[in-house]
Amino acid sequence: MVKLRVKLHGTLCSRFPDYAPGQIMEIEIPEGGTVKDLLAILEIPKKMRPVVVLEGRVLNMDDRMPFGSCVSVFQPIHGG
Domain boundaries, the chain: 2-74
H/E stretch holding 38:
helix 35-42
| Residue range 2-74, CATH number | 3.10.20.30
H/E stretch holding 58:
strand 57-58
Residue-level pLDDT at 34: 95
Longest dimension (CA), the chain: 42
Residue-level pLDDT at 79: 57
Task: Check if the beta carbon of residue 51 is closer than 8 Å to that of residue 76.
Answer: yes
**For the chain, how far is it from start to end, CA to CA, in angstroms?**
42
Residue-level pLDDT at 6: 95
Residue-level pLDDT at 16: 83
H/E stretch holding 65:
none
Residue-level pLDDT at 78: 62
pLDDT in tens, the chain (80 residues): 889 999 999 888 888 888 888 889 999 999 999 999 999 999 998 888 899 999 999 999 999 998 889 999 998 776 55
